[in-house]
Amino acid sequence: MKYGVIAVISVLFLLTVGLPQSLAQSAKFKAVTYCEFEPGTFPLHAHSLPKAVVRSVMQAPESRYAVKGEKPADVNPEKLLLGRKIHLSNDGTNEFLIIGSGPLSAADGSWFWIVRQHGAKASILIYDAGNCVELESSQTKGHRDVVFYWASAGTEVVDTFQYDGKTYKLVHDKARSRGPND
C-alpha cells in the first residue's frame, strides 16, 4: 500500500512539473531578424545593460584592438554600444544582442556580439560582423541557430552559427558575388 501511494504521488509530480517543463523546453521560437539601421531595434544603451555584459564586450580582443590609440572620451561604452535582450533557449538564461558603433564597427557593416549573462559575469557566445542578425526558429541542442547577413555592392555573405552543447560554432560561411540586379 505504501509503495502504491508513493508511485501515484511520483506520477502526479511528473505530470504537474515534469511534463510542462519538458514541453516548455521544446517550445518553438519564431524567427526574428534585427538589422543595424532599423529604428528601435537596439533600445538599450550601455547604462541599461548589465555591467558584466558591457565589460565583456569592451574587453574582447577585437574591441581592445579597435580602440587602441583612441582618446579616452571616444572609448565611452555609452557612445559605442547599444543592445537588446534576446532568448536563445528556454533555460531562463539572460542573453543580449549588442551592436557596436565606430570604432567598434566596420565602414560597411556593424559588429555584433551575443553575450550570455551569468549573474555578475558574462561571456561572449558569438562575435561577427554584418548588416542583420537572424535568430532562427530552428534549434541545435536546445539553442536557436543564429545567422548573420552582410552585403556590399559586389558580395553577399551568410554566416550560420549552431550551438554544440557548450558554445556556438560557425557551421556555414557562404559568400557569393552580387550583380547589378541583386
Mean pLDDT of successive 10-residue segments in the chain (182 residues)? 42 37 57 92 95 96 91 86 96 94 90 94 96 96 96 93 95 88 67
Rounded Cα distance between 20 and 42, Å, is 32
Task: Look at the alpha carbons of 88, 67, 153, 171 in this order and tell me if their dihedral is positive or negative.
Answer: negative
Helix, strand or coil, per DSSP, at residue 96: strand
Beta-carbon-side half-sphere exposure of residue 83 (alpha carbons within 13 Å) = 26
3-state DSSP assignment of residue 159? strand
The amino acid that residue 84 corresponds to is R
| β-bridge pairing 109-118 and 32-35 | unpaired
Q: What is the pLDDT of residue 2?
A: 54
Indicate if the alpha-carbon torsion angle 42, 85, 150, 38 is positive or negative.
Answer: negative
Q: Which pLDDT tens digit goes with each residue over 33-59? A: 999 988 899 999 999 999 999 999 999
pLDDT at 65: 93
The grid coordinates listed for 26 are 521544446
Map residue 91 onto helix, strand or coil: coil
Task: Determine if the pTM surpasses 0.85.
Answer: no
Residue 4 is inside which H or E element, if any?
helix 2-13
| CB distance 57 to 80 below 8 Å | no
3-state SS, residue 24: helix
